[in-house]
Chains A and B, each alone.
Chain A
Amino acid sequence: MFIFEWLNNQLLRMEWLSNLIKLLVENGFGLSIQDRLGGSIHFYIYDVIKIFILLSVLIFTISYIQSFFPPERTRKILGRYNGISANILGALLGTVTPFCSCSSIPLFIGFTSAGLPIGVTFSFLISSPLVDLASVILLASIFNWKIAIAYVVVGIILAVIGGTIISKAKLEKYVEPFVFGNKILDVEQEELTTRERVEYARDQVLEIIKKVWLYILIGVGIGAAIHNWIPENIISAVLGQDKWYSVLLATLVGVPMYADIFGTLPIAEALVLKGVGIGTALSFMMAVTALSLPSMILLKKVVKTRLLAIFAGIVTLGILIIGYFFNAFGYLLM
């Protein structure tokens, strides 16, 4: 138990790094980290380095695992199941399939053309940006393992329920007709060699870092500002645990925003340190990552407004419920 705790603190929370940066700020810059300026500089440097290290290691590992699940294989696996087990499997595969919002449309069409129910595809589309392995490890690093696991469980439940509702409501008529009846490419992909997988994983790391570094710098910047410059009473007046509207506000602000989960985590971290409920912080994070204007605009190409609105509605409602749930029972996880 002691060894596990030590590993957790040093490898995931990177206490060594925190201490190192503390030395740098106090001796190098001559600032105390108890002060505002020293504190924000410490938070900023420590969080940026920590996130980049974790991110690189995680993306590498996860991409290696993901190279075993290209969309073609996912589709084949999903085709063998029906009903709710297909939704559950869709949600689970969503967490390991390589995916970015720009590839959601080809996936949607590819799955639907193969005859998968749209509900299963939506389970996949909801869980894919929401729950991925990297975000889970980062949550464990910033908060703790219980919260990380609870996040995965509720994220998958949301994806399963959302997809099931869309299945039951028979909304196929709101999908653009050209989506159905495309050719299904069934060339057996040649197995990758280990070297190719390693190369793929390395390329993914570079590509994702290139894509998200700015979001991370901005996200940590906002986090540092919240951490040291915005008075606690202002934050608790707007987002405090006791305010019934805090979750609603965090969700509505987060929905149109587009950022990577790695950029939003430091903001959530700073909010929680300021006494904001864990449910409020999680709602904000989920809203930012699961729904965004760019992905909505893309989806609009293949589904009619009605279905898009139902999709956004279900996900928003789910995020609100999760937020209130965590605010009510989150103390059990801290």
Chain B
Amino acid sequence: MIIKILGSGCKNCETLKANTEKTLKETGIEAEIIKVDDLKEVMAYGVMSTPALVIDEKVVSVGKVLKPKDIAKILENHK
């Protein structure tokens, strides 16, 4: 599983990345986290508010700094 975090280099994106890492560690789910900061690449996903969370090329959340428990729920649904 590949998880991408789309952002513009803001602080919220860092927080989302940290929360995602924490969730992976807690749930024991294996995934690769990639941070995408390039504007053109971010826009190619069609999101308008960052940070956004993308799992296996599917946008699952936009404009929210998700808490670890929210991320865990999303990962659960994704399976």
How many angstroms between the C-alpha atoms of A187 and B42 in the bound complex? 16
How many angstroms between the C-alpha atoms of A111 and B42 in the bound complex? 15
Contact status B45-A185, CB under 8 Å = yes
Min CB distance A184 to B, Å, is 5
How many angstroms between the C-alpha atoms of A293 and B15 in the bound complex? 27
- B75 touches A (CB below 8 Å): no
Contact status B43-A109, CB under 8 Å = yes
Contact status A102-B44, CB under 8 Å = no
Binds B, one of A51-59, A70-78, A136-144, A262-270: A70-78
Residues of A with C-beta under 8 A to B44: 182-183
Min CB distance A227 to B, Å, is 35
Known contacts being A70-B63, A105-B39, is A185 close to B46, with CB within 8 Å? yes
How many angstroms between the C-alpha atoms of A301 and B40 in the bound complex? 10
Residues of B with C-beta under 8 A to A178: 40, 43
Residues of A with C-beta under 8 A to B65: 203
| CB-CB contacts below 8 Å: A91-107 with B | 98, 102-103, 105-107
Contact status B47-A185, CB under 8 Å = yes
Contact status A72-B62, CB under 8 Å = yes
Min CB distance A303 to B, Å, is 13
Min CB distance A175 to B, Å, is 13
Q: A105's closest neighbor in chain B, by CB? A: B39
Contact of A71 among B8, B45, B48, B59 (CB under 8 A): B48
Q: A185's closest neighbor in chain B, by CB? A: B46
What per-residue 1/0 map shows which CB atoms of B31-42 lie under 8 Å from chain A?
000000001101
Residues of A contacting B: mostly? helix
Min CB distance A41 to B, Å, is 35
Q: B46's closest neighbor in chain A, by CB? A: A185
Contact status A72-B48, CB under 8 Å = yes
Q: B48's closest neighbor in chain A, by CB? A: A110
Contact status A106-B59, CB under 8 Å = no
Total chain A interface residues with beta-carbon distance under 8 A:
25
Residues of B with C-beta under 8 A to A292: none
How many angstroms between the C-alpha atoms of A111 and B49 in the bound complex? 12
Residues of B with C-beta under 8 A to A185: 45-48, 59, 62
Q: B12's closest neighbor in chain A, by CB? A: A207
Residues of A with C-beta under 8 A to B50: 103, 106
Q: Which of A71, A179, A184 has the most CB of B within 10 A?
A: A71
Contact status B46-A182, CB under 8 Å = yes
Contact of B48 among A75, A179, A301 (CB under 8 A): A75
- A32 touches B (CB below 8 Å): no
Contact status A182-B62, CB under 8 Å = no
Contact of A183 among B8, B10, B45 (CB under 8 A): B45
- A8 touches B (CB below 8 Å): no
How many angstroms between the C-alpha atoms of A41 and B1 in the bound complex? 59
Contact status B45-A102, CB under 8 Å = no
Min CB distance B50 to A, Å, is 6
Min CB distance A73 to B, Å, is 10
Residues of A with C-beta under 8 A to B47: 106, 110, 185
How many angstroms between the C-alpha atoms of A189 and B43 in the bound complex? 18
How many angstroms between the C-alpha atoms of A103 and B39 in the bound complex? 11
Besides A71-B48, A107-B48, A109-B48, 6 other A-B contacts (C-beta < 8 A):
A70-B49, A72-B48, A103-B49, A113-B43, A178-B43, A182-B46
Q: A residues touching B (Cβ–Cβ < 8 Å)?
A: 70-72, 75, 98, 102-103, 105-107, 109-111, 113, 178-179, 182-187, 189, 203, 301
